[in-house]
Structure 1
Amino acid sequence: MQALVIGSGGREHALAWKLLQSPQVTRIYCAPGNGGMQQLPRCQSVALAATDIEGLVRFATVQGIRLTVVGPELPLVQGIVDAFQAAGLPIFGPSRAAAQLEGSKLWAKQLMQEAGIPTARATGFAELSAAVAYLDSQSFPVVIKKDGLAAGKGVTVAQNREEAVQALEAALAKPGDQVLIEEFIPGQEVSVLALTDGQICVLLPPAQDYKRLGEGDTGPNTGGMGAHAPADHLVTPEGLARIQTQILDPTLEALQRRGIRYQGVIYAGLMITPSGDPYVLEYNCRFGDPEAQVILPLLENPLDEVLLACIEGRLAQIQLKWKPGYAACVVMAAPGYPDTYERGIPVSGLDAAATTGALVFHAGTRQAGKQLLSDGGRVLCLTGQGATLSEALRQAYAAVEQVQFPKAYYRSDIGSHALGPAVRRGVIPTP
């Protein structure tokens, strides 16, 4: 079977790597892929953008692609699944209508409110003056969310009125822009992803993503600077069952009531309060990045079998199996990320990194002759595995130390939410 992976980041590298472990997968095409994906055996990059829907449909038709997996959210929101389905091509991901769950925060908030799903109180605005006036009735901090896709960076936790007004001005800068002003809910964030065939949801191990740029969760939001799974320090098996019955099953039912059949990944970004209650912060309509890089290595099933079961409406027939232990990843970013960052920085030492046992996923690289160069904000994602979270982190950081990447930036405190502040001091506790 030939498969097509759409996208060019660390998530897509992890998807291609996992698909290639299946004996049924003979070749993978990556569109457009990256410098690491094209080094995988039986993997070929295709010079097609992830948003070139017409070109991708034509390519998949000519090549006889039996499974297409969409990594990033933009082509999903633009309707790539609808186009593939119209051409009779099997594709994993939600339709354009279903992808509104991520494509519009206002739409998703209304769905949650109608379904009684626990989420923060919020009000939407399209005019700056009305939004600013509303601030006077709120206590701080408040959360400002720009409607629409923002690559994980469209959220501001404003500590005071001045910060809130600045965020509102940025979010409502163009005609047609909309914004949500939301109450702040304290706690720890966790990502709970579920596979669905439109009939049932099957939850994956919870993961914890470290979104802030700086140590100790400071600085701006990024696409994610690291993650680990399972996040069992926050979500017990009983807690996961509660999230299924109170959040993910009702989400699927609410979509069904709207006449939407959702097939793919429903990603619930949750806040777990100090009392243990889960609240939905946002939904995504695809695998998370870097969550995929710590969840997929733990999956024992052939990935193609699982994804095809979702496409074909027979997920209930699949029993997911998971490796014992933990996975943890550390993202190495280009200087200046997440704002203006450098490209074309030489990267080496990846063979030495792999000798640590860690997985090396490329997030933003390109090959220029024999030289690997940076080609994005997040450049590499190093994933370690171990019987304990501490072991997984040690392996990931050991791999980071082998990479030669001038001026690379990474957080040294991935894992601190689970293991405590000692990780911030560069000491990973021994189990």
Structure 2
Amino acid sequence: MRVLLVGAGGREHALAWKIAQSPLCEHLWIVPGNPGTATLGTNVDLAADDAAGIVGLATREQIDLVVVGPEAPLVEGLGEVCEAVDLAMFGPSSEAAQLEGSKAFAKMIMLEAGVPTAAAHTFDDPAAAIAFVEADQQAWVVKADGLAAGKGVIVPDDGNVAATISAIHELAATNAGTRLVLEEKLTGPEVSLLALCDGERAIPLIAAQDHKRIGDNDTGGNTGGMGSYAPAPILPYAEAQALVDVIFTPVLRTMAARQIPYRGVLYAGLMLTPNGVKVIEFNARFGDPETQALLPLLKSDLLELLHKVATSNLADVTIEWHDGAAVCVVLSAAGYPAKPRTGDVITGLDRLPSDVLSFQAGTATNAQGQLVTAGGRVLGITAVAPTLREARDKAYAATELVEFAGKYQRSDIAARGLAE
């Protein structure tokens, strides 16, 4: 099978690493890729949102399957462009990707499908949102309706009306915040549950947990994710499978009834509240950095699974997993998330043990051929071991071998898993 993977981050490096292992993979192209993916296939210098360029490349190279990593090309309609030329693609159409592209649309689908979720109100005018909060005198979680690269949610302190109003002003000033969703603030641990969906059927992956805040103990601002681990002990696989009938199947049926079949991976961000599981958000793609922890544990052939999803053929499919646990620790650049510095030389990857994986995200090669920082989240260092504690210890030991000026990492990745 000739495969074209779209994207350039750590998630795409992990996807490329796993796809390249498949005996079905004849050759892999990555658009645009990064220095890490270049070791697994052929990087092509096209933008991830260049739909015409991607389809042209796929036609020239006789691509059998396009796999889309990031959300933006999905929301912008790459699926429809591929469908128009009868090109199989893993990922939802732009309409279906509104489950991530619009918080208001996702909330509407959840309510229509009967999926447990937080109460919410949608506003097209920030002044109306502020008036609502001032009258209500409660703190609300404020969400930008559109895509915000994982940074479009502000959770104020309990009862802090002023912080809620400040969050409304902040997000309303962004491109993603032309519409705002105010959501009831829930309490409880969060967990990420992803499922492969072929329009009718959903098969869950093992649960993972990521760490969104920049600082230890979940302090500081939101990021795209500072690390992850799997499986999450708080949601055993048997319980994850039971949630298919509660969350995924109702959504698939509701979308199908609207003539918007959902094919791809559907990521449910869950909160385990005292009143049961609630869906906080949906994403229309593999999570980042959850993918870097999930795929090393996947025993099944990923490429075969992706193709079955794209061709609506998940009937009688069972996903197999390796025993053990995986921990991914993200190394970020100086200044991340506000103003990440680029151009710092990265050393030490050649010193990593053979059983530790390094997934490149914000990296590039400079004029001297050196690997340098080129984004906020630079590397995901992933280790697999028989137990979560061993995997965590191995991952953190490996991070000490990698150096670049301003390197930053959280010190508590997977700590909550060890406490459960």
TM range (shorter): over 0.9
Aligned partner of residue 11 in structure 2, secondary structure: helix
Greater mean deviation of Cα atoms: 173-182 or 143-152? 173-182
Partner of 2:123: 125
Counterpart contact for 2:3–2:64, Cα < 8 Å: yes
Alignment size in residue pairs: 416
The answer to whether the Cα contact below 8 Å between 1:357 and 1:395 also exists between their aligned partners in 2 is: no
- 1:427 aligned partner: none
Give the match's secondary structure for 1:402.
coil
Question: 1:135 is aligned with what amino acid?
Answer: V
> Any idea what SS the aligned residue of 1:301 has?
coil
The alignment status of 1:296 with 2:312, answered yes or no, reads: no
Letter in 2 for 1:194: A
Q: Is the 8 A contact 1:356 1:398 kept in 2?
A: no
Q: Which runs of 5+ in 2 are unaligned?
A: none
TM-score w.r.t. length of structure 1: 0.94
Q: In the alignment, what sits opposite 2:258? A: 258
**Which segments of 5 or more consecutive residues in structure 1 lack a partner in the other structure?**
422-431
Alpha-carbon displacement from aligned partner over 1:373-407 (angstroms, at most 9, x marks no partner): 11110000001101110111111111101101121
How far apart are residue 257 of structure 1 and its match? 1.5
Asked if 1:189 is matched to 2:187, the reply is no
RMSD: 1.5
Q: Is contact 2:211-2:413 (8 Å) kept?
A: yes
Q: Which residue of 2 aligns with 1:167?
A: 167
Alignment partner, residue 90 of structure 1: 88
Moved more, 237-246 or 203-212: 237-246
User: C-alpha separation between the residues in 2 aligned to 1:197 and 1:45?
Assistant: 28
The residue type paired with residue 63 of structure 1 is E
| 8 A Cα contact 2:200 2:249, kept in partner | no
1:76 is matched with which residue? 74
How far apart in 1 are the matches of 2:354 and 2:200? 42
Matches for 1:244-283 after TM superposition, within 5 Å:
244-274=244-274, 277-283=276-282
Distance 2:362 2:174 in 1: 29
C-alpha distance in 1 between matches for 2:45 and 2:102: 30
Output the CA distance in 1 between the equivalents of 2:336 and 2:403. 18
What is the CA deviation profile of residues 42-84 of structure 1, one whole-angstrom value per residue up to 9, with x for unaligned ones? x111000000010000000001111111000000000101101
Task: Look up the equivalent residue of 2:349 and give its one-letter code.
Answer: L
For 1:318-329, what aligned pairs fall within 5 Å after superposition?
318-329=317-328
Q: Which amino acid aligns with 1:13?
A: H
Distance of 1:174 and 1:280 partners within structure 2: 25
Residues 356 and 395, structure 1, Cα contact 8 Å, conserved in 2: no
Query: Bigger CA drift: 236-245 or 383-392?
Result: 236-245
What pairs with 1:383-422 in structure 2 (closer than 5 Å)?
383-420=382-419
Letter in structure 2 aligned against 1:202: I
Question: Cα–Cα, structure 1 residues 174 and 298, in superposed 2: closer, same or farther, change >3 Å?
Answer: closer
Residue type of the alignment partner of 1:384: A
Question: 2:267 touches 2:282 (CA, 8 Å); kept in 1?
Answer: yes
Q: TM-score, normalised by structure 2?
A: 0.96
Task: Name the stretch that deviates more: 98-107 or 83-92.
Answer: 83-92
Aligned to 2:39: 39
**1:99 matched to which residue of 2?**
97
User: Between the two proteins, what is the percent identity of the paired residues?
Assistant: 46
Q: Spell out the pairing of 1:327-406 with structure 2 (5 A cutoff).
A: 327-353=326-352, 355=353, 357-368=355-366, 369-406=368-405
